[in-house]
Structure 1
Amino acid sequence: MVKKIIINFLLVSATVFVLDFAIGRTLRYYYFLEDSGIHYRTAFSINNTTAEFLILGSSRATHHYVPDVFVERTGMSFYNTGRQGTGIFHQLAVLTAVLKRYKPEVIILDYAGDFRLGDNTYARLSSLLPYYREHEELRWIVEQKSPWEKIKLLSEIYPFSSQVQQIILGNLKFNKIREQDDRGYVSLHSRWEADIDSVDNLPKFGLDSLKIEAFTKLIRMAKEAGAKVFIIRSPIFCKTTWNDDVEICIRQSKAQGVPFWDFSQDTLFLNHSYLFKDPGHLNHEGALIFSGIISDSIAPYLKR
């Protein structure tokens, strides 16, 4: 009886192992086979780009920086590594992988501010799971997701389990039409027509020291690599008062000796809703204007 139980256990374990290996390797193959969409842009950012001018950030980075404007005014090659729904750990990971391969000349971190405790920043590190095995330099970042990541990542399926639908879409021909990008930039074309929101009293929140350390580490690494570094808080269509995120960005940027420019309350954008696709993102028309302002603003620094 005991022998039969052991044999059955071994058979089940072997079956699970084989299925996990086969399905996981298939998902990995098709993940890295994608040639458009969010997975492709992340893979290109981590494994391939050699652009002199890099943008780091989340969805505002993706939609607010028009490549042609920067290439024309700086003469540098350009790539936008922004990925929607990510935080400072993802951006630190991208930069870490990039610096292992080469040294960019200019780095803009478009930082919306997510220093608070208790949000889903750590859960969003799932975007980096496919890179854990091949990128030893990123493992400590991925392991911030949970205390069990090392064990979970023994599975071949786990790194892709939350991304199956996107892997399927990313391998379909219509995906290139559905989500076109230009060197990582994804343009938005509708206009926001509703009234502006106003948040007068932003609540205080607990601060996550690990996020602040990651923010500081990113700036330090970029500077040590010889890059010109700029921290930018790009426009939103919402009137807000001062908050802890901005204060921390100012303090840490000043301590590191890099410019921090806050455009979130710039009236050029707040007074013109037609420059936005939604309250959090500029449309292409707004992005063209914003890109011109930023490229002109950094020009004097590039001559030093």
Structure 2
Amino acid sequence: MKSFIIKVLVFVGLFYAADFIAGMVLGHFYIKSKNINLLNTNYGFSGNVKDDILIFGASELSHALIPHRITDKTGMSTYNLACDACSIYYQYPMLETILEAHVPKVIVLSSNQMNEESLGYVTKLYPFYDTNKHVKDLVDVLLPKEYFKLALNGYVYNSKLIRVFDRSNDNRNGYVPLHPEEIRIDPSDFEVLGVGKNNPITADTENYFRKFVQKATAKGVKVYVWVPPILQKMNGDYRAKMTAVVETTGAKIIDFSKDQYFLSRSALFFDQSHLNDDGAKVMTDRVMQILKEDGVY
């Protein structure tokens, strides 16, 4: 019996030692990763963000606004922090982290950030759980049972192994182009969505979305809530609720969902919900025009 207990203790000790070493190695490569999503995440949570204009959203925005194009025109440093398949639970602790050291002049936030009900993307925050109080507070609220699992480095980095060693993406300050020649959609590909089917907004996502905007505007940041153009019919109930939420926050809505310039030109889209690089150039110029009219530059 004593021999068995010793073997168990040795196994446990070796397991935790291996997990600790693996965590150190993976943590090193995680911070150095060139994968565009990890690059954006690492930068956003680095505490070193100093840009004048910051862009928050998911894939609909990571492919839609071009930072270098904005900087070249306005002289204002810009970074697109949008991360594919992420929503407001990811954006909120990142904003808190940034505001501790820097207050940007402008934030562009996708309206889609209050739509995502799933918590799957919250795993992207796990590598910062032990070092970032804002991440820890949010994860503990949303996923209180994860506390014990997050003591294991293998669990923290489990879903990111492939991306950690991905070095194929170059740094365009967060922008990810979708090339027009890769996919060209049919101009008639227009999906009509039924009432209540599109973009649900829960009380929790609404709350964090509201807190995000209010925290930024309280610091003097000019916040624009960007509604993307999509080759789909936007649900009326969603539009009304989304608009009502934004109107109470002090942000300005810039709504392209009914913009016929985009909706009548399928050549500007990569698919039904993402602009291609040509569309992104047009969208970036349109957003810059709004900033100019508002006296931002």
TM norm structure 2: 0.91
Q: Answer whether contact 2:63 2:175 (CA < 8 A) is retained.
A: yes
Q: RMSD over aligned Cα, in angstroms?
A: 2.0
Which segments of 5 or more consecutive residues in structure 1 lack a partner in the other structure?
Answer: none
Q: Name the structure 2 match of 1:284.
A: 277
1:262 lines up with 2:261 in the alignment? no
- The 4+ residue runs of structure 1 with deviation greater than 3 A are 113-116, 204-207
Find out whether 1:249 has 2:246 as its counterpart: no
Q: Which residue of 2 aligns with 1:51?
A: 51
Q: Counterpart in 2 of 1:37?
A: 36
Instruction: Write the distance in 1 (CA, Å) between the matches of 2:90 and 2:5.
Output: 43
Residues 1:185 and 2:175 are matched in the alignment: yes
Label 1:102 to 1:114 Cα distance change in 2 as closer, same or farther (>3 A).
closer
* Structure 1 segment 1-304 matched on structure 2, within 5 A: 1=1, 3-47=2-46, 48-115=48-115, 119-120=117-118, 122-170=119-167, 175=168, 179-190=169-180, 191-194=183-186, 195-203=188-196, 207-244=201-238, 246-302=239-295
Determine if contact 1:55/1:107 at 8 Å carries over to the other structure. yes
One-letter amino acid of the counterpart of residue 256, structure 1? T
The alignment partner of 2:159 has SS state of coil
Cα contact 1:239–1:265 (8 A) shared by 2: no
CA distance 1:8–1:303, change in 2 (3 Å): closer
CA displacement at 1:77 relative to structure 2: 0.7
1:193-242 deviation digits (Å, cap 9, x = unpaired)? 32322224232587521111100010011111211111011111223341
Distance change (3 Å), C-alpha of 1:243 and 1:180: farther
Deviation at residue 45 of structure 1 after TM alignment: 2.1
Q: Take 2:63 and 2:178, find their aligned partners in 1: how far apart are those partners?
A: 7
Q: Name which of structure 1's ranges 35-44 and 99-108 shifts more when overlaid on structure 2.
A: 35-44
Query: Kindly tell me: are residues 303 and 80 of structure 1, through their superposed partners in 2, closer, same or farther at Cα, counting changes over 3 Å?
Result: closer
Q: How many aligned residue pairs are there?
A: 292
Counterparts of 2:273 and 2:263, CA distance in 1: 11
Distance in 2 (CA, whole Å) between partners of 1:34 and 1:206 is: 34
Q: What is the rounded CA distance, in whole Å, between the counterparts of 1:200 and 1:80 in structure 2?
A: 30
What's the TM-score, normalizing by structure 1? Answer: 0.89
- Counterpart-to-counterpart distance in 1, 2:157 and 2:79: 25
Partners of 2:87 and 2:241 lie apart in 1 by 15
- Gaps of at least 5 residues in structure 2 are none
Matching residue's letter, 1:29: H
Q: Is the 8 A contact 2:97 2:134 kept in 1?
A: yes
| SS state at 2:49 partner | coil
Deviation at residue 86 of structure 1 after TM alignment? 0.3
Q: Is the 8 A contact 1:62 1:186 kept in 2?
A: yes
Deviation at 1:113, TM superposition (A): 4.9
Question: Which amino acid in the other structure matches residue 43 of structure 1?
Answer: N
The amino acid across from 1:261 in the alignment is: I
Whole-angstrom distance in 1 between the partners of 2:13 and 2:193: 59
Query: Following the alignment from structure 1 to structure 2, what is the Cα–Cα distance between the partners of residues 252 and 261?
Result: 14
Distance 1:295 1:206 in 2: 30
Equivalent residues of 1:125, 1:145 under 8 A apart: no
Task: Indicate conservation of the 8 Å contact 2:231/2:263, yes or no.
Answer: yes
Shift of 1:257: 2.1
Contact 1:249 1:260 in 2 (8 A): no
- Identity percentage of aligned residues: 25
Distance 1:41 1:257, change over 3 A: closer
What is the Cα deviation at residue 153 of structure 1? 1.1
